[in-house]
Structure 1
Amino acid sequence: MHFPSKRACCQTYAGEGEISQFPMIVLYKPKGIYRKTSSFIVRDFTCTSCRPLLVVTCFFTTLGSCIPVGYFLGIMNGPAMFIKVWCYDAIKSIYGLSLSALQLDVLWALIVAIFLVGGICGSLLAAWCCNKFGRKSTLLLSKLLLMASGCLLFLCRYSGLVSLLLLGRFIGGVAAALITTAHPMYLLELSPADRRGSVGVYTALGVAIGICVSQVIGLQQLFGNAELWHYALSFYMIFVSVSLPSYRWFAESPEWLLKHKPQDCLVARKALKDLHGSQSISVIYEEKPQLAASEPMDSKELSLLAVLRNRKFLLPLALVLTLQACQQLCGINVVMSCKELPTKVFYYSVGIFTEVGFSNDNANWMNLACGLLNCAVGALTPFLINRFPRKLLFQLGLSPIPYFIASELFEDSARPVAMSLGSFASWSCNFMVAMFFPLLENVWGSFAFLPCCAVCIYSLILSWRYLPETRPSNNENI
């Protein structure tokens, strides 16, 4: 492949009777990693420093997107008893019905589970939103949904309507699915090649921090009580509000711009320069028409059916779906998530500690300690992910890698669909764990974790045998 001289230049390219008016931008560097994007190639080089804008983008997108997702997963534990009492009183005052203990437990199960149902529905829309509106715009849409959800959760107590609580949880689930699909893809496409692994783990890290924050806010000494539980449910709106103004300075994904808005090539160039620096970071230049013609599928986004029918995507898609499913089925949410009921309808955490002899107060503090440990280990992943092979790290823990492995296994045209399907598998298996683990626990007791052990062994064998090492390679080599 031929490159011009060291000096950056802009020119037009003529090929097969057509003149392209898009500038050819070359920042000289002899070696690098190529990624195809529509009729362009983005060439990444080793980045020796981390640009402030990239750091700020990672921080604020995680603060306003992923932390609220984790917060949703964990907040229902602390004020659970008080919310159930409110639900009983609200239904009695509006409909004149007195719910039995079983009916109240079923209603509570619906309140908690509808967030996961929203996640399943949102994951089906995520690929279309990412392709249609862009990665950044999808994240902005998710923030608007989070704000709407927070308003409903806050107002439900004053209105006395349980339906507002249900609707707020459902909308929050839709927003969470959009985030878990768009956020890792957005950060990976903004980052230089040697930083993609580090930024890819911010999704899982943000979720872990959100769970930990919800455990603190849900304490009865703070907001997890009869008077303030509606503040606890909507507290995450602070994170969203703080992060929203910063989005005006963030760039849309350069890869999405080059694919869907090639007239904004200069905008993409400026975004890459701001994110990566002006020296030896990226090369954007127009491909020859014959190269684009040799792989016509790369010139447009692939639909769900196109991805499912293409045999070359079969193994990577199976890996993505399996890793996302194993992440949920391995039992981590049973141990770490803080949704718990006296009747054990949903995830365990506090309930596990009380069963082994801890008082309720001590069980809450033990649960918080687990959340802090989860955050501490998660904080190490940005430093470890590029220093050790992905396969080795995945054998040690399932959390961060499934969130971004689809971005490394799939080319640009199939990436949104793959990320969306992975998110669908994750939320569906999350719902299965929430619904069926209590049944296993009632029958098998502590042996209910045996299927989780089997899932861990299966994921170990699968990833060791079939998962390619993606550090630090490009999609086509994989």
Structure 2
Amino acid sequence: MERQLLLNEPARPRKLPTWTLFFAVCAAGIGGTFQYGYNVSIINAPTEHIHKFLNETWQSRYQAELSPGLLTLLWSTIASIFSLGGLFGAHLGGSMAVWLGRKGALLMNNFVALLAAILMGVSFPTGFYELLILGRFLIGINTGIGLCVQPLYIGEAAPKHLRGAMAMGSSIFLTGGILTGQVVGLRELLGGESHWPLLLSTCCIPAFVQLLALPWFPESPRFLFLDRGNEVKCVKALKRFHGRLHYRREMEDIQREGLALGSQKAKKPWELFLDRSIRWQLLTIICMTMGQQLSGINGIYFYASYVFQEAGIPEGKIPYVTLGTGACECLTALTCGLLIESMGRRALILGGYSLMTLWCMVLTFSLTYQVYWWAPYLSMACVFAFILSFGLGPGGVTNILTIELFTQSSRPAAYTIAGSVSWLSFFTIGMLFPFIVRGLKQYCFLVFLAECCLVALFIFFVVPETKNKTFLEIKREFHKMNFGRIKEQDGELGERRHLSNEF
């Protein structure tokens, strides 16, 4: 009876999200991807102060000076253990999303952030740098879980015609976290020598905000219906997210997917590698996630201070100019959110990688001829242009495609794999980039040029447009690549035909 009512009362889709959906995206984002951007950003400001803390602690503990090599090792451990925590969190995130639900996993994740904030805050007064290392590991776990679960929650709550724009909330909050960390880390605020433990402990604030805000919003409707089998709660959640006059179309789509999936349970990550029906989807996500991290964006930030200094900006003013890069990335995330439903995913990400290829060429040229008066200004323009291109393409769209290329039973495991690849790539580029720079110097961007070009070619030949399509329609787009001329499996096709006849 419920299904007949749903099918007899179609309604035009809303052009704008409901306030409930909009604020749910904000509540999920503040404790999710915002934490990642914020904690990546704030660790740069107190570098010298942490070095001093390590030296003084070692001196008081062992009555001997800390050698430069050991100091570098301890600092590298503090910086890189965040990535190892993120990798561990990515493996936990998919499982937590299945056990606790998307909303429940996000809420529980905040207690990890609170514990990390306490440990990092007390490391200086207690004189235990081990607590700082442990705190960075725990906040890495928190961000790894958040990067995995938050896009799941938003992507499953949003209607298909707004899915891209709403899922861009992940990138908007990530870049907002980077910019906020840059501002708070200024020496006039919390970047001074006496305030750096408080700076690292401020990661508790987004956790508290999410713990207060997120419980007021429903669980993911798709999770309630497809994973828990609770149709009543699913309908209530859809009514709140989409409005009483506009939820029916999305409920029909969820019912179709439920019949197509049958009794399938959530898959494990290793099961995805054995499933032929999602072979190309999985390859796409792995290539695009690696491409995002290895595209050269980290190299751009590495060279930014040098480029600004060569352009004549005083060294003391460079941190304020660096704020411009964070603001630039935040602005492009907002712009991508406005364009993604009109231009589509494919055009934005192809354009982004193509422009990044161009800027790598120009930046290599300008860095080579840095002795000329115009070269530093051209280099500075390339830095901002590269960040703009990254934000409009790979930075914004990659996460959305991870949501859209998989159905409900495969999606949490796909996020675990994508998160693991992302953190491993992040860790690898952090380890190898100094050696690449030392060996190739300004020509290091030719490596990124080749990578951007290859990823753009892969997307052009493999990735279809997913705008305004259901998850089952996207799955059918990949069917020919996965199976060639082999017919679709009778079970799934029979269920679709049965449902079509019923409609």
TM category, shorter: 0.7 to 0.9
1:87 aligned residue: 54
1:99 aligns to what SS in structure 2?
coil
Aligned equivalent of 2:268, options 303, 310, 313: 303
Question: How many Å separate the matches in 2 of 1:150 and 1:353?
Answer: 33
Query: Is 1:448 aligned with 2:444?
Result: yes
RCO comparison, higher one (Cα < 8 Å, 6+): 1
Query: Is 1:129 aligned with 2:96?
Result: yes
Overall identity of the aligned pairs, in %: 26
Q: Is the 8 A contact 1:139 1:179 kept in 2?
A: yes
2:338 aligned residue: 383
Structure 1: 5+ residue runs without aligned partners? 1-8, 11-23, 33-44, 337-346
Q: For residues 68 and 280 of structure 1, do their structure 2 counterparts lie closer, same or farther at Cα, with a shift above 3 Å needed?
A: closer
Question: How many Å separate the matches in 1 of 2:177 and 2:261?
Answer: 42
2:235 aligned residue: 269
- Output the TM-score relative to the length of structure 1: 0.85
Give how far 1:48 is off.
Answer: 3.6
Amino acid at match of 1:309: L
1:371 aligned residue: 326
Give how far 1:25 is off.
Answer: 7.2
Query: Is 1:158 aligned with 2:154?
Result: no
Q: For residues 126 and 463 of structure 1, do their structure 2 counterparts lie closer, same or farther at Cα, with a shift above 3 Å needed?
A: same
1:3 aligned residue: none
Query: Is 1:148 aligned with 2:115?
Result: yes
Give how far 1:61 is off.
Answer: 1.5
1:146 aligns to what SS in structure 2?
helix
Question: How many Å separate the matches in 2 of 1:257 and 1:412?
Answer: 11
Q: Is the 8 A contact 2:222 2:254 kept in 1?
A: no
Give how far 1:312 is off.
Answer: 1.6
2:210 aligned residue: 243
Question: How many Å separate the matches in 2 of 1:204 and 1:349?
Answer: 21
Q: For residues 286 and 473 of structure 1, do their structure 2 counterparts lie closer, same or farther at Cα, with a shift above 3 Å needed?
A: closer
Question: How many Å separate the matches in 2 of 1:67 and 1:162?
Answer: 26
Q: For residues 26 and 305 of structure 1, do their structure 2 counterparts lie closer, same or farther at Cα, with a shift above 3 Å needed?
A: farther
Aligned equivalent of 1:104, options 61, 71, 74: 71
Tell me which moved more, 117-126 or 240-249.
240-249
- The one-character-per-residue Cα deviations of 1:288-328 (angstroms, maximum 9, x if unpaired) are 99x94x755x6211122321101121111011011111111
Question: How many Å separate the matches in 1 of 2:57 and 2:243?
Answer: 57
Question: How many Å separate the matches in 1 of 2:314 and 2:434?
Answer: 21
Q: Is the 8 A contact 1:259 1:300 kept in 2?
A: no
Q: For residues 354 and 93 of structure 1, do their structure 2 counterparts lie closer, same or farther at Cα, with a shift above 3 Å needed?
A: farther
Q: For residues 248 and 202 of structure 1, do their structure 2 counterparts lie closer, same or farther at Cα, with a shift above 3 Å needed?
A: same
2:222 aligned residue: 255
- How many equivalent pairs are there? 431
Q: For residues 389 and 288 of structure 1, do their structure 2 counterparts lie closer, same or farther at Cα, with a shift above 3 Å needed?
A: closer
Q: Is the 8 A contact 2:18 2:243 kept in 1?
A: yes
Q: For residues 250 and 121 of structure 1, do their structure 2 counterparts lie closer, same or farther at Cα, with a shift above 3 Å needed?
A: same
Aligned equivalent of 1:180, options 120, 143, 147: 147
Q: For residues 287 and 222 of structure 1, do their structure 2 counterparts lie closer, same or farther at Cα, with a shift above 3 Å needed?
A: closer
Give how far 1:329 is off.
Answer: 0.2
Give how far 1:456 is off.
Answer: 0.7
Aligned equivalent of 1:350, options 292, 305, 309: 305
Aligned equivalent of 2:453, options 441, 453, 457: 457
Q: Which structure's residues are more often strand, by fraction? A: 1
Question: How many Å separate the matches in 2 of 1:286 and 1:238?
Answer: 38
1:193 aligns to what SS in structure 2?
coil
2:244 aligned residue: 278
Q: Is the 8 A contact 1:127 1:420 kept in 2?
A: yes
Question: How many Å separate the matches in 1 of 2:333 and 2:63?
Answer: 48
Tell me which moved more, 410-419 or 98-107.
98-107
Q: For residues 312 and 423 of structure 1, do their structure 2 counterparts lie closer, same or farther at Cα, with a shift above 3 Å needed?
A: same
Query: Is 1:332 aligned with 2:309?
Result: no
2:468 aligned residue: 472
2:347 aligned residue: 392
Alignment of 1:312-323 (within 5 A): 312-323=277-288
2:180 aligns to what SS in structure 1?
helix
Q: For residues 288 and 476 of structure 1, do their structure 2 counterparts lie closer, same or farther at Cα, with a shift above 3 Å needed?
A: closer
2:185 aligned residue: 218
1:341 aligned residue: none
Alpha-carbon RMSD: 2.2
Give how far 1:156 is off.
Answer: 0.9
Amino acid at match of 1:444: L
Structure 2: 5+ residue runs without aligned partners? 353-392, 475-503
Amino acid at match of 2:288: L
Question: How many Å separate the matches in 1 of 2:38 and 2:454?
Answer: 30
- The one-character-per-residue Cα deviations of 1:357-377 (angstroms, maximum 9, x if unpaired) are 543222212211111111111
Question: How many Å separate the matches in 1 of 2:398 and 2:227?
Answer: 27
Q: For residues 349 and 287 of structure 1, do their structure 2 counterparts lie closer, same or farther at Cα, with a shift above 3 Å needed?
A: closer
Amino acid at match of 2:435: L
